[in-house]
Amino acid sequence: MKIAFWSNEYEKSGAFYNFAAVSIASVMYNPYTIAVMENYLGRENLGKAFFNYPENSYTGYGVGFYEGGGIEGLLRRIYRGDKQPGMLRSYVKEVIQNRLYYIPQNGVINSELFDYELYHNIKELLRIIEKNTDLCYINVIQQNHLSSKEILQEADLIVINLYQNPKYLEEFFINYQPLIPKSLFIVGNYSPKKMSYTEISRYYSIPIEDISSVPNNEDFQIACRYGSAKEYINRYFNCSRGSSHYTFIHGVRKAAYMISKKIEESILADGKSMRNCGI
């Protein structure tokens, strides 16, 4: 099952931090294996949040410099006709043992070329990922990348990160109606002083069980900058209401739970079961 995270206001909605947090929390809510990736190359990536990789560090295994490590190298092999699902093992990094895997970046090609190659090979890449893990989470950049539209079309579920501003809310609900039927919603960088998520739910006819609010959390952002996102979520996942981390963690947990429920509904509707497979 393919789950895309996207926003029409990527930075203001805190989309990257929401993606990082929910990816980790999701393996605590369901028994499935998850592969995570991004459809862009950049300094703000999950390799930094999970492992504190230096920019442009080498992260691949057993591949040459021309191919590149991580996702770039994987795409090059797919482009050359290598479609063996087992090759994914050489291009992933384990985040949580037997549960969460990241397909890292290597930064050996420029962003435009990467986007072009991803666009032309995304279907085969997703097929290979689905042969190895139960779920694939994809952080989809807001900009007009070739691959973004293709990924949103291929996704079984889209997690929309909304920005709490009337202009951007209207822009989304007017221009992106086709995405809504297969979407859940996170109101990122949430402030109770602005239009509340319950008001957004009522005004735009979003079922309340399909929307979560996740406030800004500087501690988690610092954790992401130093490669300890996993440790942060693990440490505070069961914190009490009195904790200063509670509102952030509660929003993240609710988002992960919403996704888990949609996965269960999809499994029941298809009459299939997950394989609980691992790389």
Sorted by where each begins, the domain ranges of the chain are 2-270
For 201, residues 6+ apart whose C-beta sits below 8 A from its C-beta are: 207, 208, 211
Q: Are 187 and 162 in contact (CB under 8 A)?
A: yes
Asked if 148 contacts 179 with a C-beta cutoff of 8 angstroms, the reply is: no
- Name residue 136's beta-bridge partners: 2, 35
The top-level CATH class assigned to 2-270 is: alpha beta
CA pseudo-torsion sign 45, 47, 53, 56: negative
From first to last of the 279 residues of the chain, give the pLDDT tens digit.
Answer: 999 999 999 999 999 999 999 999 999 888 899 999 999 998 889 999 999 765 444 344 334 434 567 899 999 999 999 989 999 999 999 999 999 999 998 866 788 899 999 999 999 999 999 999 999 999 999 877 899 999 999 999 999 999 999 999 999 999 999 999 999 999 999 999 999 999 999 999 999 999 999 999 999 999 999 999 999 999 999 999 999 999 999 999 999 999 999 999 988 887 766 665 667
- pTM, full prediction: 0.92
Coil, strand, or helix at residue 116? Answer: helix
